[in-house]
Homo-oligomer: A and B are copies of this chain.
Amino acid sequence: MVSIKDVAKHAGVAISTVSKVLNHYPNVSEETKRKVNQAVEELNFVPNSVAAALSSKQSGRVALLLNLNTKTQAIDEIVMQYISGAINKAMEMGLDVITFFFSMFENKSVEEITRYLNAQSIHGIIIYGMSKEDKVLQKLIAAQEFKVVLVDAPLYNSNTSTVWVNQEQAQYDVAQKTIVENKSKKILYIAGKKNGYVTEQRLKGIKRLAQDMDLNLLIKHGEFSELQARNITFRFARNRDVIVCASDLMAIGAMRALMEMDIFRPVCGFDGITLMGYAGKQMNTISQNFAGVSAAAVEELHYLMNGGEGREKILGYTIARMKYMDIIC
C-alpha cells in the first residue's frame, strides 16, 4: 500500500507538505504543488480515509437515517431513490456513506446513539421523513452534537438544515388542477400520518385551496396506508365529487375501492412513484424527484460540515400525469 510517506519521498518533500497540497492549504508554492501532484499521479496514491478520519477528527463520514416502513413495502421505491441519490452524490463529493434505519436506534438513548456514531467517526447525518413522534431523533437534533440535514421535516438550527419541496403549495397545485379539470365541488381528502410534518403541510395546502375555491372539504386520515384509504373510500366517496390523496399509495387504494364499488371519481395522488403505472388507471400526481432531493441534502450537509450555518432549502416539483405507458417505455 502506497502511503503519504512514499509520495513525500518520491516528490522530495516532507510528509506535511504533501498533506497540505492534498488538502488545499494555502502557503504552498506552485512548484512544490506540481511536484507533489505528479508524485501522486505516478504512484497512484489514494489517501487512506480511515487514517485521515482518525487524525483530523473531522472525517467525511456521513450517515443516512431512513425510515423503512416494513408495513407498506410498496414505498420502497422512495427510500431506494433517496439512497441512490445520496450515495451517488456523496461519492462525487468524496464523502463516504453509512446507511442506517430508524429501527436500529429504536430503543436507544441519545447518549448511546451519540457514542455509537462517534465510535464510527461519523459527523454528519441526513434524516429522511422524521415525524414529531420520533422523540429520540428530535433530542439528537436539539443536542447539536452532529451536523444534520433533515429531509421533509421543517426544522433547523445552527447545526441543522432542512431540505424539502414546498409541500403545501404542491398539494394546492395538484389538487387544484384535478378539481378544475373535473369541475368538482365536494372533495374527499385522505391525509397522511398524524403528527407527520409533510402531512401537516399538505393539509394546509388543501385547506387553503378549499377556502380559495369555496369547496366542500371532508378530511380523513389514511396514515399513508393503502388499506385505510380503501376503507375510507368505501365509506365516504359515494357522495363526493373527487378524491384527493396525500400519497400515491393511498390513491391506488382509493381507485381500487372505486372500481369495486363500480363508480367513477377522479383521484389525485402525491409522490409520482412508478408503482402508479401498475394500478391500471391514470391520475394527476406530484413528481418529487426524490433522488434529486437526496443529492441536495448531501450537498447541504457538506456545506454544514465545512462551517456553514443551518438553513432552509426549498426545492421544486412538477405536476405529472402518470399512466401505464409512461412506465414501460
- On A, residues with C-beta under 8 Å from B are 1, 44, 46-51, 53-54, 59, 68, 73-74, 76-77, 79-81, 83-84, 87-88, 91, 96-101, 103-104, 111-112, 115-116, 118-121, 226-227, 230, 252-253, 256, 274-275, 278-280, 324, 327-329
Residues of B contacting A280 with CB < 8 Å?
280
Inter-subunit contact A253/B328 (CB<8 Å): yes
Q: A44-B111, A54-B50, A328-B253 are in contact. Are A104 and B83 (CB under 8 A)?
A: no
Residues of B contacting A115 with CB < 8 Å?
44, 46
Q: A79-B80, A119-B49, A278-B278 are in contact. Are A87 and B100 (CB under 8 A)?
A: yes
A87 to B74, CA, bound (A): 20
7 contacts between A and B (CB under 8 A): A48-B121, A49-B120, A50-B120, A51-B54, A87-B100, A98-B98, A226-B328
Q: A46-B115, A50-B50, A91-B104 are in contact. Are A74 and B274 (CB under 8 A)?
A: yes
Question: Main SS of the interface on chain A?
Answer: helix
Residues of B contacting A111 with CB < 8 Å?
44
Q: A101-B84, A104-B88, A278-B275 are in contact. Are A46 and B76 (CB under 8 A)?
A: no
Q: A51: nearest residue on chain B (CB-CB)? A: B54
Inter-subunit contact A101/B88 (CB<8 Å): yes
A68 to B96, CA, bound (A): 18
Inter-subunit contact A118/B46 (CB<8 Å): yes
* A87 partner, pick from B101, B121, B279, beta carbons under 8 A: B101
* A119 partner, pick from B47, B88, B101, B121, beta carbons under 8 A: B47
Inter-subunit contact A252/B278 (CB<8 Å): yes
Inter-subunit contact A80/B76 (CB<8 Å): yes
Most chain-B Cβ atoms within 10 A of its Cβ — which of A91, A99, A116?
A99
Residues of B contacting A120 with CB < 8 Å?
49-50, 96
Residues of B contacting A99 with CB < 8 Å?
83, 87, 97, 99
